[in-house]
Amino acid sequence: MSALTAALYGALAVYLGGWFFGLWVGNFALVLFLLSFVTGLFWLAERFHFQPARLRAAAALESQHVARRAELNKLGITQVDGDLVQARAAVLAQPWWLDWTAGLFPVIAAVFLLRSFLFEPFKIPSGSMVPTLLVGDLILVNKFEYGVRLPVVHTKVMANGDPQRGDVVVFRYPPDPRLDYIKRVVGVPGDEIVYAAQKLTVNGQAVPLQALGEFYDEDSLRYSPQFSEKLGAVEHRILVDPKRPSYFGGQTPRFPGAENCRYAVEGLTCKVPAGHYFVMGDNRDNSQDSRYWGFVPDENLVGRAFFIWMNFGSFGRIGSFR
């Protein structure tokens, strides 16, 4: 069993190492599920087999010790070699391979359930959501606001709510669902989205913009025009250069539902199909989003981002956001 445990953790180390160095795309939910399953088997084996066996061995040791003392007392020998307490502790001690499997099961299972159904942490890897979210922000995502989904297979088992315009959502990237993306919802099912001349229009109504002055991006070391945008009840900041053309000329993007979109040199018009969402980054000129790869299906939703719990470069960023 010790060799099996060492092999399991060795395989885990290889998988995580390859993931860290970019050799393959990892699936942390699957890793947690497998760890919970395997350590759960060890926990059951410990609970119903190994621990009772150690208790029986300890009881037998005590019985032997009592019998030996009785025999020696008959011979008039009162001094007995050996420490029963120390010997009993050695018999009851949990071997390392059980300590690193059954002993970790409650913690791993709790993390798996918490991450799968309540809140999941993510790290912002790119600047597509600047100025709302910066590179290095560690955020929390509400996993149950858009319905309860089974982990790993992502099947929705209970409806709860739907994304609203202005929500910042994490979703599985439609062209490659192994990757998680984060954007802002600008169009819900049935909406007509127009993005032309660097301006957003929803259902024929121009989304209100208010100039806020320039924003200095410490990662790109440059200033960008900053605006306040209001989508429904949500007011947030965006970066967009009004002088930069919204160019969608050349080859029209191809993606599921592309027939709902019309592309032109000056911009695009899209009708959001049922069960899908149109998302964009707040850094409008530096975001690969629905304008380029299409709509986000409801089944790809992970949850709503709502809180920055850490940024090691700027502790002042900790807090909630909209």
Q: Catalytic residues, which ones?
A: 128, 183
Alpha helices in the chain (DSSP H): 2-20, 28-45, 51-74, 84-92, 96-99, 105-117, 290-293
Q: Compute the distance between CA of residue 128 and CA of residue 287 in angstroms, rounded to an integer.
A: 5
Contact 319, 308 (CB under 8 A): yes
Crossing angle of helices 51-74 and 84-92, in 10° steps, is 160
Is residue 78 helix, strand or coil?
coil
**First-to-final CA distance of the chain:** 50
Whole-angstrom CA distances from 29 to 105, 115, 141, 249 are: 16, 8, 14, 40
Is residue 18 helix, strand or coil?
helix
State residue 315 phi and psi, 5-degree precision: -65, -20
Number of H-type helices and E-type strands within the chain: 7, 18
The strand pairing partners of 172, in sequence order, are: 180
Crossing angle of helices 28-45 and 105-117, in 10° steps, is 140
